[in-house]
Structure 1
Amino acid sequence: MKPEKAKVLILGSFHMSEFEGLNSDIRQREIEELVSKLEKFKPTKIAVEMVPEGSKKCNEKYKNYKLGTYELQMNEIYQVGFRLGLQLGHEQIYPIDWMGKSDMDYGEVESWAKDNQPELLSEIYQGFEYPELLEGKSIIDFYKELNAPTLLNKLHKIYVNIARIGDVNHYVGMNWLSWWYKRNLIMFGNLTRLIDSNEERILFIVGNSHSAIVTKFIEESEVCEVVQPLSYLQ
């Protein structure tokens, strides 16, 4: 029998601050339903997409939320992470992101590709449609779409193919991708640093564009076991 390993569930999320109407009674009940489903995973720690430098401020908000003196901002860290942490009696939330300086931002890469390699850019994104949170679609169903392996694999494929943008000795896509991969590797490294025992069960709430790559790092490292989010979202 293989020895037990710590478990990590990566919940690919959308950024709630970019959406309207999530404060409605219906949407708030749906978010509470999502939290109830995640509670069944019984995470021992909750990691979030925030840089560690923000940990003190984040956990001050979390402490005040537990005291009933902080109203949750519209952000998945607070709406999902704080609610779940409170229900599980967690003492703190763990920011593990990194946002260092990049040589080139994605907008510059896309702009260069539109001017110089439009056919390649079209090929990279061909047939890709990102899910939408439409009226009548529940938060749970939206999260199911965001965490579907088919979508995550397509997103990962796009990122890998961005490396093709540019030409010899002019690696335009790589100027941005080197930052992107570094960021995700740091997330992976910080995530593994939260593991104190084989009984650890860590929930990582992060934008779903990070899901596939961080998952691959975990799987290839064999440090811990990946738990599929859909098994808890059904």
Structure 2
Amino acid sequence: MPDSAQSANGRVEETVDDAFWPAPRPGQVRVLLLGTYHMDNPGLDEVNVDADDVLGEDRQGELRDLADRLERWKADRVAVERPWDRAADLNDVYQRYRSGAYDYDTEHEFESTHGMRDDAATECRSEVVQIGFRLADRLGHERVAPIDCPAMMGNDATAELAERGYEPERKVDVPRLDTDSLQRTRDERLASSTIPDYHRMLNRERELLKNHAGMFGMYVPYGEGENFGGPAALGTWYERNLKMVHNLWRAVDADAQETGDEERILLVVGSGHVRVLRHLLDETPQFCPVNPLPSLS
């Protein structure tokens, strides 16, 4: 395809992406939602990208490039997908990076603050450290804000259905998300892309939609009789994200609001959260979700 055609398609896609994001109003806290992949391979998602080692020289250069781009947005605070009640532990580790005791390109073992796993050798490779800490460090922030409330979507009702091999009736012939194919495609794309390029792809609307299409396509029909296991699982997902929005509000600088400053928070979060967080933030009048794509250019 000629370069001019590629450019035109890119502009059309960017226009489509922009249409899903609201315009900020005066006084709102702006939250840039940077959807990421999990760089330390925790293996906790439906689709788990096979991430190569981000401590290597080439990937570290790409991460510095990504930080250069994100730094221009001038966030007042960096929030990350780690449990809100591990703030002290998380910021103890952040201070080691900020002071220079730890380097971003070196493996360091420290107690994980993940909440769902405890691999001390991989936490230093996580997007929390490699993007969140690095950016907050660049911006001179004293702390980062963990805002997650981890929760497993499965429940006793879905377990009961799975145990007896339940399959919901297919009443509508729509394609199901092929998670194996999606993982292969994303693995190949990551292997052939720079980290900034991969994040531009990951935050396109067509990619963000795939996570919710898969979740809703699977869980809405999953139940029978008095068993609402699938909808309950989606309820858990929404509850988790609502608590994340609440924790973003906890992180807002009250002094800045009193002086009329429009605070900016950059949230580093798994890309599967972006659509639901955008909706919830847009529904909350104190907030305005912000498209990350212009900052990734």
Q: Taking structure 1 as the reference length, what is the TM-score of the superposition?
A: 0.88
Please tell me whether the aligned partners of residues 13 and 143 of structure 1 are also in contact (alpha carbons under 8 angstroms).
Answer: yes
Aligned to 2:134: 83
Aligned to 2:271: 208
Please tell me whether the aligned partners of residues 120 and 165 of structure 1 are also in contact (alpha carbons under 8 angstroms).
Answer: no
1:72-151 alignment runs, 5 A limit: 72=104, 73-100=124-151, 104=155, 108=159, 111=162, 115-117=166-168, 119=170, 123=174, 125-126=176-177, 129=182, 131-132=186-187, 133-151=189-207
Aligned to 1:172: 229
Please tell me whether the aligned partners of residues 106 and 176 of structure 1 are also in contact (alpha carbons under 8 angstroms).
Answer: no
Q: What is the RMSD computed on CA atoms of the aligned residues?
A: 2.8
* C-alpha displacement of 1:192: 2.2
Q: For residue 61 of structure 1, what is the amino acid of its counterpart?
A: V
Q: In structure 2, how many angstroms separate the alpha carbons of the residues matched to 1:120 and 1:106?
A: 22
- Residues 48, 167 of structure 1: CA spacing in aligned structure 2 closer, same or farther, 3 A cutoff? same
* C-alpha displacement of 1:114: 6.4
Q: In structure 1, how many angstroms separate the alpha carbons of the residues matched to 2:282 and 2:160?
A: 29
Q: Secondary structure at the match of 1:170?
A: coil
1:1-234 alignment runs, 5 A limit: 3-18=26-41, 19-72=51-104, 73-100=124-151, 104=155, 108=159, 111=162, 115-117=166-168, 119=170, 123=174, 125-126=176-177, 129=182, 131-132=186-187, 133-161=189-217, 162-196=219-253, 197=257, 198-234=261-297
Q: In structure 2, how many angstroms separate the alpha carbons of the residues matched to 1:121 and 1:179?
A: 26
- Residues 167, 105 of structure 1: CA spacing in aligned structure 2 closer, same or farther, 3 A cutoff? closer
- Gaps (5+ residues) in structure 2? 1-24, 42-50, 105-123
* C-alpha displacement of 1:76: 0.5
Q: For residue 8 of structure 1, what is the amino acid of its counterpart?
A: V
Task: Report % sequence identity.
Answer: 30
- Gaps (5+ residues) in structure 1? none
Q: Secondary structure at the match of 2:40?
A: helix
Higher relative contact order (CA 8 A, sep 6+): 1
- Residues 13, 114 of structure 1: CA spacing in aligned structure 2 closer, same or farther, 3 A cutoff? farther
Q: In structure 2, how many angstroms separate the alpha carbons of the residues matched to 1:217 and 1:124?
A: 27
What whole-Å deviation, never above 9, does each CA across 1:191-217 have from its counterpart, x for those lacking one?
122223242100011111111001100
* C-alpha displacement of 1:57: 1.1
Aligned to 2:113: none
Tell me the matched-pair count: 233
